[in-house]
Structure 1
């Protein structure tokens, strides 16, 4: 399904995103870094090309080398702390958008896989039926 001009904003409305067109992929990630960032078993992320994203507002970020070896910069609203987007050194020209930011518009995009499934908790069955990758996808 093709998405056109999806608009999203943080909890306080200071930061806004406009996404033009569908994401390249949608995935769950159960790496320890995503678990700490979300406070949950996994993150649910859409990957959009930089050219598809318009960002309005301010963000602060925390960058660190993840267990995978990639450096991840996680951007949040400086006022309310809402996660806005992530930039990975492994994904040049793309940004990872947490689907929860999209509200009901996220219903258009179903995850296709879970990466870092080796770290998922036994009680989380969200990824049942999805392709599972121990670390990153093969391609």
Structure 2
């Protein structure tokens, strides 16, 4: 059976349902994510948009990352809740902020990335697989 996850912003103007398990769940300490998370890391899961049902309007703001990819942050235009991230290198998938998901969804980060940019006061769970920058790309098939 395929899992189903539901999410909503603080005011309820944006809701979504995601079918299937995320490809991964990560904690990101890059500077852009720290800005999006008011100083801490973002906690994210990568879901296919194929199994997503989105209700409500999402506002997007983008920039060019150090990688050269276009990265966009999606948020509720009513209450400002951070909801999504999307990257031009990941067609067909969006990052979902774990705080957007409702209830105890059970998704936990397994990896911490961009630790080179984490502030000295950051507390990184030693149980997480850790990378100084981005994770290595998957092997070619």
Provide the TM-score with structure 2 as the length reference.
0.89
Hey, what's the Cα distance between the residues in 1 that align with 2:2 and 2:73? 24
Give 1:103 shift: 3.8
The residue number in structure 1 matching 2:21 is: 22
Match of 1:130 among 124, 128, 140: 128
Q: How does 1:99-114 map to 2 (within 5 A)?
A: 99-106=98-105, 108-114=106-112
The residue number in structure 2 matching 1:119 is: 117
Structure-2 change in CA distance of 1:127 and 1:89 (3 Å): farther
C-alpha contact 2:27 2:112 (8 A) present in aligned 1:
yes
Give 1:93 shift: 1.1
Hey, what's the Cα distance between the residues in 2 that align with 1:41 and 1:68? 21
Q: How many residues align?
A: 137
Hey, what's the Cα distance between the residues in 2 that align with 1:90 and 1:133? 19
Hey, what's the Cα distance between the residues in 2 that align with 1:130 and 1:98? 18
Q: Which is further off, 2-11 or 94-103?
A: 2-11
Give 1:112 shift: 1.2
Hey, what's the Cα distance between the residues in 1 that align with 2:68 and 2:97? 21
* 1:34 alignment partner, SS class: helix
Provide the TM-score with structure 1 as the length reference.
0.90
Structure 2: give runs of 5+ residues left out of the alignment.
none
Give 1:3 shift: 6.5
